[in-house]
Structure 1
Amino acid sequence: MTAMTDWQPGRWYRINQPDGRLWCETSDRDEIQREHEKTGWPIYRFWQRTDSEWRPE
């Protein structure tokens, strides 16, 4: 399992409806916060990791 330190926060956020359907997706933190305040549904943030290495040709 990869350590959490390998993961970096992305710029995208989303809120899903209680039934799992997408409600809102945006890269604007203020917008997602406003939607969270209206709905009370949790905010999810996109996290990513990129592996790289040198390989012989």
Structure 2
Amino acid sequence: MDLQSEIETHRMVYDRLDGTGRKLLGSLTSQEDAVMLQHRLDEMNQRWNHLKSKSIAIR
């Protein structure tokens, strides 16, 4: 299996994790927890996008 296919097999997990995290953000009462979760989601999105870009670049 090539890298692009491997990434696509994990897309559903990524999408669910991102969606669940965003829903959770709306239910957090602690501003500190919300900021931390937002930071982690942003970091995850940056890594995901970087991985996709790298896989496209090496095709």
TM-score by length of 2: 0.25
Greater per-residue helix proportion? 2
State the structure with more CA Rg: 1
Higher strand share: 1
